Amino acid sequence: MAEQMRTPPLETAEEAKRSRDLVGEISALNEGHRQLENAPWAPTRSGDRLVVAFEAVGDNPGFTETYEVISSGLEHWPEQTELRLVGHTAPHDQVGFYAGSPALSGGDAIETVWMEAGPDRLTVLREGKVLHQGSRTPGTVGRRGAERAGFFREGHVYSSQDGYTAPEEVWVIDCRHVTKTPAGERIAFGFVRIGTDRKWTPTGLGGSDWNRVQWTEEKPQA
């Protein structure tokens, strides 16, 4: 499979169009559609969450928008889905541009934002599990593929809030015990609480979980 496009497919196509490169324009659009269709988690389905990251511009801070994939409610097309804005961290109310049905009838609910914002700015979640995380999303810039020093510590609480993540997407980890697998990989056991849900759920986290998120230590447990 070709490497994921770092520049949004639509932006690449527009650049080719300005250069009067018809082949390049069509190729960029086709490649964007192909990568979405061939993603191992595609198509998205009702209940999935999509977080779109917008970088800071000048004095305007970066922010995120969180959407939920929902049924379009079309009687003649029950499988059609669309996006509903469920949260954002913007300091203004000019948000929700991607809410609604995809521009291409019958397309994946996230197709429009995938093509316009680009997969590199998106995070796709299903039942709290990250299915896709672009390298330009909060917490990944400058450290994709690199291991971070340290690990979860017993008796400490960690949060995934980084100033960009919508409150309903924040993970809080209460680490109770750290051990190693027979292969030598460190494993942290404890409890996780996601978003505004006050329910704690047992969990186990490894090195990939530690590296994936820029965890903030909240406070030691008594």
Q: What is the pLDDT of residues 95-130, one digit of tens each?
A: 888 988 876 666 788 999 999 988 888 888 888 788
pLDDT tens figures, 129-151? 888 888 777 654 333 333 345 78
**CA nearest to 170, candidates 128, 222, 218, 112:** 128
Q: Which of 75, 140, 81 is nearest to 106 (CA)?
A: 81
Question: Domain range for residue 199?
Answer: 156-217
The number of residues making up the chain comes to 222
Are residues 178 and 154 in contact, defined by beta-carbon separation less than 8 angstroms?
yes
147 within a domain of the structure (yes/no)? no
Within-domain flag for 62: yes
Name which of 53, 61, 6 is nearest 31 in CA terms. Answer: 6
Name beta bridge partners: 202: 191
Residues 93 and 60 in one domain: yes
* pTM attached to this predicted model: 0.59
Quick one: which H or E segment has residue 17?
helix 9-18
Does a structural domain hold residue 222?
no
89 & 128 share domain: yes
Q: Are residues 87 and 175 in the same domain?
A: no
